[in-house]
């Protein structure tokens, strides 16, 4: 490889490695991300300002596609029957490395970049899971690796998968089902968080769906005997499911919201809807619990003389871990290091932590990298459509401290930190780590072989991927009809 060490640039890098720690190729990768940091920050903040929810990320996806297209990637839009999905490709030979990009926001999390609760006028949603950083960081890493390939004449193919509606819409399930990820040798993945870590982990498989009850309207006071309340059906179902919680496997999680419950108290509701999630580390158990929830719905309809229909909105596998892949990611993360706050960021973090249950080590943990866990991967009690990807392509995990330590995902505090310099610094850590990991995999065929061998062993010789959503089309309206 060429001697590409840029000592002048290295002096500006806010991370732990010194020039002596880095090879010339690693220094080149870091240099590439540093050189485009301002552009990446602008892209991330533009997407944050839009805060578009699942399957409605029309402007957000255009921003990411333009960013990648202007940097040498060929773009295919509308993949897998999803208008906001895309695949950006560079190269056509050598190992194929994928990058996962997300960009959907969550409804109800409008929040300014301030350490107290303050919604942004005219905006309902917010990036409470940091997907504006996730997608931009992945694209930045891919661009850096692409430039390294060109500079050194290395053959490899890079693919960035623009994945809409991770928050309950299952975009990656439909990309996987459509074959978009066929032929990918390894998938680079990360997620914003409150810590820097690369240890392998598992997640929960998840079934989600809506139960719609149909009754008969009547005047609630003048002719109640003529009505049959759809809301009664929903409430009877919820009561039975809450009783069910005592008799499910220990690691089960069940949650619901009533999305529609009637329009006026003096009218017996003829329609009501409830939206459920059922989770468990084992996809088989998640499905079994879901079937019991469906039985509760049928019983509730029978008892209230209403009718119920159900729709599976999304269903995802648990995450399949890969120790060899995680070890490579951890090596890169330790070269990059954590997030170091300046004075203004520390003041912001200290103020924000007053609203949180802060960790024992306080703000200092943002600058550290968690110890790597070589034991059997632990369960993280969330769900993601990355799970389906991981059963088809070897996939790593990575968390970078885009949020103040102690911040939970899906909170206004995550939006606040994720839309100011703390979040952007965490994204920078992730982009450098992903790019360095990718470079090592491309440069070391033996490493890629170990990753693929472990993947095959963990998945099992008899495994055949079957999407848990079945043959349903992408639920483009799962957030409700667009105005």
pLDDT, averaged across the chain: 94
Radius of gyration of the chain, Cα coordinates, nearest whole angstrom: 24
Total residues belonging to the chain = 483
Over residues 149-156, mean pLDDT: 97
Mean pLDDT of 433-443: 98
Q: What is the mean pLDDT of residues 273-280?
A: 96
User: Higher-confidence residue: 127 or 284?
Assistant: 127
- Is 14's pLDDT higher than 70? no
**pLDDT tier for residue 357 given thresholds of 50, 70 and 90:** confident
Q: How far is CA 61 from the centre of its chain?
A: 15
pLDDT in tens, 200-258: 999 999 999 999 999 999 999 999 999 999 999 999 999 999 999 999 999 999 999 99
pLDDT at 156: 98
pLDDT of 15 over the 70 cut: no
Whole-angstrom CA distances from 424 to 223, 341, 345, 400, 401 are: 60, 11, 12, 10, 10
The pLDDT assigned to 10 comes to 38
At 121-137, the pLDDT tens digits run 999 999 999 999 999 99
The model's confidence at residue 9, banded by pLDDT at 50, 70 and 90, is very low
Q: What is the pLDDT of residues 400-414, one digit of tens each?
A: 999 999 999 999 999
Residue 359 is predicted with a pLDDT of 73
Q: Which are the contacts of 377, defined by CB distance < 8 A and separation ≥ 6?
A: 199, 200, 201, 202, 321, 323
CATH number at 210-316: 3.30.70.360
Q: Is the pLDDT score of 13 beyond 60?
A: no
Average pLDDT for 453-462? 96
Model confidence pLDDT, tens digit, residues 287-307: 999 999 999 999 999 999 999
Give pLDDT tens digits for 49-106: 999 999 999 999 999 999 999 999 999 999 999 999 999 999 999 999 999 999 999 9
Residue entry with tokens 């602008």: 42
Percent of the chain with pLDDT over 90: 92
Per-residue pLDDT for 12 more than 60? no
Share of the chain above pLDDT 70, in %: 95
Q: Confidence band (pLDDT; 50, 70, 90) for 107?
A: very high
The string of DSSP codes covering 236-303 is HHHHHHHHHGGGS-TT-EEEEEEEE--S-TTB--SEEEEEEEEEESSHHHHHHHHHHHHHHHHHHHHH
Lowest mean pLDDT among 151-165, 182-196, 309-323, 351-365: 351-365
The two tokens of residue 340 are 């170091």
Confidence of residue 17 (pLDDT cuts 50, 70, 90): low
What 8-state DSSP symbol labels residue 85? Answer: -
Classify residue 264 by burial, with Cβ atoms within 10 Å: 0-12, 13-18, 19+. exposed
At residue 343, the pLDDT reads: 97
pLDDT at 6 over 70: no
pLDDT tens profile 414-434: 999 999 999 999 999 999 999
CA distance 212 to 279: 21
Q: Is 443 helix (H, G, I), strand (E, B) or coil?
A: helix
Mention every residue, 6+ apart, whose C-beta is less than 8 A from residue 175.
79, 80, 82, 85, 87, 161, 163, 181
Binned at pLDDT 50, 70 and 90, residue 5 comes out as very low
pLDDT of residue 7 exceeding 70, the answer is: no
pLDDT-based confidence at residue 4 (cuts at 50, 70, 90): very low
Determine the topology of domain 7-203+319-459 in CATH: Aminopeptidase (3.40.630)
The pLDDT-based confidence of 21 (bands split at 50, 70, 90) is confident
Low-confidence winner among 104-108, 334-338, 376-380 (lowest mean pLDDT):
376-380
Provide CB contacts within 8 A for 246, sequence distance 6+. none
Token output for 387: 């799970």
Which has the minimum average pLDDT: 183-187, 279-283, 359-363, 408-412? 359-363
What does pTM read for this prediction?
Answer: 0.90
The angle at the Cα of 409, spanning 408 to 411, to the nearest 5 degrees, equals 80
Question: Is a pLDDT exceeding 90 seen at residue 20?
Answer: no
Domain residue limits, the chain = 7-203+319-459, 210-316
């Amino acid at each position: 490889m060429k001697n590409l060490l840029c000592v002048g640039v290295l002096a500006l890098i806010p991370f732990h490695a010194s020039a002596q720690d880095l090879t010339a190729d690693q220094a080149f990768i870091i240099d590439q991300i540093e050189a485009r940091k301002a552009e990446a920050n602008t892209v991330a903040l533009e997407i944050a300002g839009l805060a578009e929810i699942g399957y409605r990320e029309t402007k957000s996806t255009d921003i990411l596609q333009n960013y990648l297209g202007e940097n040498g990637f060929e773009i295919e839009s509308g993949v897998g029957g999803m208008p906001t999905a895309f695949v950006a490709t560079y190269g056509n030979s050598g190992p194929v490395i994928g990058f996962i990009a997300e960009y959907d926001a969550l409804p109800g999390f409008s929040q300014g970049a301030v350490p107290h609760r303050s919604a942004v006028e005219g905006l309902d949603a917010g990036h409470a899971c940091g997907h504006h950083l996730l997608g931009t960081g992945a694209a930045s890493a891919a661009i850096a690796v692409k430039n390294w390939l060109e500079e050194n004449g290395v053959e490899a193919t890079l693919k960035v998968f623009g994945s809409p509606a991770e928050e309950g819409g299952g975009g990656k399930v439909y990309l996987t089902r459509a074959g978009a990820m066929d032929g990918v040798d390894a998938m680079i993945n990360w997620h914003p968080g409150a810590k820097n870590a690369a240890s392998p982990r598992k997640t929960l498989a998840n079934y989600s769906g809506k139960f719609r009850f149909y009754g008969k309207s009547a005047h609630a006071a003048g002719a109640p005997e003529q009505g049959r309340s759809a809301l009664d059906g929903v409430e009877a179902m919820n009561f039975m499911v809450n009783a069910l919680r005592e008799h499910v496997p220990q690691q089960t999680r069940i949650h619901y919201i009533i999305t529609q419950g009637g329009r006026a108290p003096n009218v017996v509701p003829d329609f009501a809807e409830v939206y459920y999630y059922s989770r468990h580390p084992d996809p088989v158990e998640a499905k079994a619990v879901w079937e019991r929830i469906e039985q509760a719905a049928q019983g509730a309809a029978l008892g209230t003389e209403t009718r119920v229909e159900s729709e599976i909105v999304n269903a995802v596998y648990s995450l399949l871990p890969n120790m060899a892949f995680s070890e490579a990611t951890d090596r890169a993360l330790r070269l990059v290091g954590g997030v170091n706050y300046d004075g203004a960021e520390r003041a912001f973090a200290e103020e924000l932590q007053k609203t949180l249950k802060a960790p024992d080590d306080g703000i200092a943990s943002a600058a550290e990298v968690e110890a790597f866990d070589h034991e059997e991967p632990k369960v993280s009690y969330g769900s993601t459509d990355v799970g389906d990807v991981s059963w088809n392509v070897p996939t790593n995990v990575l968390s970078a401290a885009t949020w103040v330590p102690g911040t939970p995902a899906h909170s206004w505090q995550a939006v606040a930190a994720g839309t100011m310099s703390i979040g952007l610094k965490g994204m920078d850590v992730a982009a450098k780590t992903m790019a360095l990991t990718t470079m090592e995999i491309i440069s070391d065929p033996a490493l890629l072989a170990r990753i693929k061998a472990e993947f095959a062993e963990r998945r099992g010789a008899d495994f055949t991927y079957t999407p848990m959503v079945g043959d349903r089309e992408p639920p483009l309206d799962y957030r409700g009809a667009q105005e």
